[in-house]
Amino acid sequence: MPTSLVVVYPPDEDGGRRVRAAGEILGRAYALTDLVEFLRRAGLDDWDDTDARTTGLIEWRGGGPDTWPRAPGAAGTP
């Protein structure tokens, strides 16, 4: 398991949250499932939503794992 801290930044104007690990931006997450997919691609194949919510490896900025203001294509979003 990597020892690098993953940082999930506050939501931007589009509702996405940048995700960074080891100094590299992994992508913009719009939901916890997006974050889990980024972590999977980074080598954490067996992680799920519960792991992402409870690990000490993730630094949540501007809200925790339940802060996802808007997802693309969700009702009421462009």
52-35-31 Cα angle (round to 5): 105
Q: How many Å separate Cα 53 from the centre of its chain? A: 10
Residue 33 lies in a domain: yes
Residue 28 lies in a domain: yes
Residue 51 lies in a domain: yes
Q: Which domain holds residue 25?
A: 6-60
64-38-5 Cα angle (round to 5): 60
What is the pLDDT at residue 64? 95
pTM of the model as a whole:
0.82
Q: What is the distance in angstroms between the CA of the first residue and the CA of the last residue of the chain?
A: 37
Domain count, the chain: 1
Looking at per-residue pLDDT, the higher value among 73 and 10 belongs to 10
Looking at per-residue pLDDT, the higher value among 43 and 76 belongs to 43
In tens, the pLDDT along 1-59 reads: 455 589 999 999 989 999 999 889 999 999 999 999 999 998 888 999 999 999 999 99
Residue 65 lies in a domain: no
Q: Is 18 left (phi over 0), alpha (psi -120 to 50) or beta?
A: beta
Place of tokens 């939501």: 11
